[in-house]
Chains A and B, each alone.
Chain A
Amino acid sequence: MSLLPTAMINKADAAQRRQHSYDEGEITKKRSVCTHCSVGCGVVAEVQNGVWIGQEPSFDHPFNLGSHCAKGASVREHGHGDKRLKYPMKKVAGEWQRISWDQAIDEIGDQMLAIRESAGPDSVYWLGSAKFNNEQAYLFRKFAAFWGSNNVDHQARICHSTTVAGVANTWGFGAMTNSYNDIHNSKCIFIIGANPAEAHPVSLQHILRGKERGGKVIVVDPRFSRTAAHADHYIRIRPGADIPFVWGMIWHMFQNGWEDEQFINQRVYGMDEIRAEVAKWTPDEVERVTGVKEADVFQAAKTMYEHKPGTVVWCMGITQHTVGNSNTRALCILQLVLGNMGVSGGGTNIFRGHDNVQGATDFGVTSNSLPGYYGLSQDAWEHWARVWDVDYNWIASQFDQASYEELNGSPVSPMFTNGITVSRWIDGVLEDPENITQKDILRAMVLWGHAPNSQTRGPEMKAAMEKLDLLVIVDPFPTVSAVMNDRQDNVYLLPAATQFETYGSLTSSNRSVQWREQIMAPLFESLPDHNIIYRFAEKFGFADQLCKHIAVNDGEPLIEDITREYNRGMWACGYTGQTPERLKLQLANLHTFNKTTLKAEGGPCDGEFYGLPWPCWGTAEMKHPGTHILYDTSIPVAEGGSPFRARFGVEREGQNLLAEGSWTAGSEIEDGYPEFTSDMLKELGWWNDLTAEEKAEAEGKNWKTDLSGGIQRVAIKHGCAPYGNAKARAIVWQFPDPVPIHREPLYTPRRDLVAEYPTYEDRRNFYRLPTRYGSIQAQDFSQEFPLIMTSGRLVEYEGGGEETRSNPWLAELQQDMFIEINPADANNAGIRDGRQVWVEGPEGGAVKVMAMVTPRVERGVVFMPFHFGGHYQGEDLKDKYPEGTAPYVRGESCNVVFTYGYDSVTAMQETKVSLCRVRPA
Chain B
Amino acid sequence: MMKKIISIVFATFILSACYEDTSVTLHEPGVYKGKRDTQTMPAEEREALLKQRFNQVQTDR
Q: Which residues from chain A sit less than 8 Å from chain B, CB to CB?
A: 1-2, 6, 11, 14-15, 18, 57, 59, 65-66, 209, 595
* A59 pairs with B57, CB closer than 8 A: yes
Asked if A209 contacts B60 (CB within 8 A), the reply is: yes
Contact string, B20-61, partner A, CB cutoff 8 A, digits 1/0? 000000000000000000001110010001000100110011
For residue A594, which residue of chain B has the nearest CB? B61
Q: Pick from B41, B56, B57, B61: contact of A14, CB below 8 A.
A: B41
- Once the chains are docked, how many angstroms separate the CA of A90 from the CA of B42? 60
Are B41 and A66 interface neighbours, CB within 8 A?
no
User: Can you spell out 22 A-B residue pairs with CB atoms less than 8 angstroms apart?
Assistant: A1-B40, A2-B40, A6-B40, A6-B41, A6-B42, A11-B45, A14-B41, A14-B45, A14-B49, A15-B49, A15-B53, A18-B40, A18-B41, A57-B57, A59-B56, A59-B57, A65-B57, A65-B60, A65-B61, A66-B57, A209-B60, A595-B61
A-B contact sample (16 more), CB < 8 A, given A11-B45, A59-B56? A2-B40, A6-B40, A6-B41, A6-B42, A14-B41, A14-B45, A14-B49, A15-B49, A18-B40, A18-B41, A59-B57, A65-B57, A65-B60, A65-B61, A209-B60, A595-B61
The docked-state distance in angstroms from the alpha carbon of A14 to that of B49 is: 9
How far, in whole Å, are A15 and B56 apart by their CA atoms in the complex? 13
Chain B residues bordering chain A, tally (CB within 8 A): 10
Chain A nearest Cβ from B9, distance in angstroms: 48
Closest to A59 in B: B57
Question: B40: which A residues are within 8 A, CB to CB?
Answer: 1-2, 6, 18
Chain B positions within 8 Å of A14 at CB level: 41, 45, 49
Residue of B nearest to A66 (CB): B57
**In the complex, A209→B59 CA distance in Å?**
12
Residue of A nearest to B42 (CB): A6
- Shortest CB-to-CB span from A203 to chain B, Å, is 15
Q: Which residue of A has the minimal Cβ distance to B52?
A: A15
Q: Which residues of A have CB within 8 Å of B41?
A: 6, 14, 18
- Chain A residues with CB under 8 Å of B49's CB are 14-15
The minimal Cβ–Cβ distance linking A599 to chain B, given in whole angstroms, is 14
Q: How far is the CA of A660 from the CA of B38 in the complex (A)?
A: 74
User: Measured between alpha carbons, how far is A1 from B41 in the docked complex, in Å?
Assistant: 11
> Nearest residue in B to A62 (C-beta to C-beta)?
B61
Q: Which residues of B contact A (CB under 8 A)?
A: 40-42, 45, 49, 53, 56-57, 60-61
- Pairs of residues from A and B, 8 with the lowest C-beta to C-beta distance, nearest first: A59-B57, A595-B61, A66-B57, A2-B40, A15-B49, A6-B40, A57-B57, A59-B56
Rounded to whole angstroms, the CA-CA distance of A18 and B53 in the bound complex is 14
Collect the chain B residues with CB atoms within 8 Å of residue A59's CB.
Answer: 56-57
Q: Which residue in chain A gives the minimum CB-CB distance to B56?
A: A59
Which chain A residues lie closer than 8 Å to B53 at the CB level?
15
A72 to chain B, nearest CB (A): 15
| Identity of the chain B residue whose Cβ is nearest the Cβ of A58 in the assembled complex | B57
Q: Nearest Cβ in chain A — how far from B47, in angstroms?
A: 13
Report the bound CA distance from A14 to B41 in whole Å.
9
With both chains docked as a complex, state the minimum distance between the C-beta of A106 and any C-beta of chain B, in angstroms: 52
* CA gap between A11 and B40 in the complex, in Å: 13
Question: How many angstroms between the C-alpha atoms of A2 and B41 in the bound complex?
Answer: 10
A296 CB, min distance to chain B CBs, angstroms: 32
Report the separation of the CA atoms of residues A543 and B41 in the bound assembly, to the nearest whole angstrom.
Answer: 58
State in angstroms the CA–CA spacing of A366 and B41 once bound together.
Answer: 57
CB neighbours (8 Å) of A595 from chain B are: 61
Residues of B within 8 A of A15 (CB): 49, 53
| Closest residue on chain B to residue A65 by CB atoms | B61
A549 to chain B, nearest CB (A): 42
Q: Give Cα A11 to B53, complex, Å.
A: 15
A1 to B39, CA, bound (A): 10
Report the nearest A residue to B48, measured CB to CB: A11
**Please, which residues of chain B bring their CB within 8 A of the CB of A65?**
57, 60-61
Nearest Cβ on chain B to A297's Cβ, whole angstroms: 34
Q: Taking each of B40, B45, B53, B60, which has the highest tally of chain A beta carbons within 10 Å of its own beta carbon?
A: B60
Bound: A6/B49 CA distance, A: 15
What CA separation (Å) do A268 and B60 show in the bound complex?
Answer: 38
Complex Cα spacing A363 to B3, Å: 91
Cα A741 to Cα B53 in complex, Å, equals 54
Say how far A374's CB is from chain B's closest CB, in angstroms. 40
By beta carbon, the residue of chain B nearest A6 is B40
CA distance A65 to B59 in the complex (A): 9
Shortest distance between the CB of A492 and any CB in chain B (Å): 46
- Complex Cα–Cα for A209 and B61 (A): 10
- Measured CB to CB, the nearest residue on chain A to B49 is A15
Q: Which residues of B contact A18 (CB under 8 A)?
A: 40-41
For the complex, give the distance between the alpha carbons of A495 and B56 in Å. Answer: 40
**Which of A2, A57, A65, A209 is most buried by chain B, counting CB atoms within 10 A of its CB?**
A65
Alpha-carbon separation in the docked complex, A595 to B56 (Å): 13
Task: Name the CB-closest residue of A to B46.
Answer: A14
Residues of the A chain whose Cβ atoms lie less than 8 Å from the Cβ of B45: 11, 14
CA distance A552 to B8 in the complex (A): 92
Chain B residues whose C-beta falls within 8 Å of the C-beta of A209 in the assembled complex: 60
B56: A residues at CB distance < 8 A: 59
For the complex, what is the distance from the CA of A59 to the CA of B56, rounded to whole Å? 7
Residue of B nearest to A595 (CB): B61
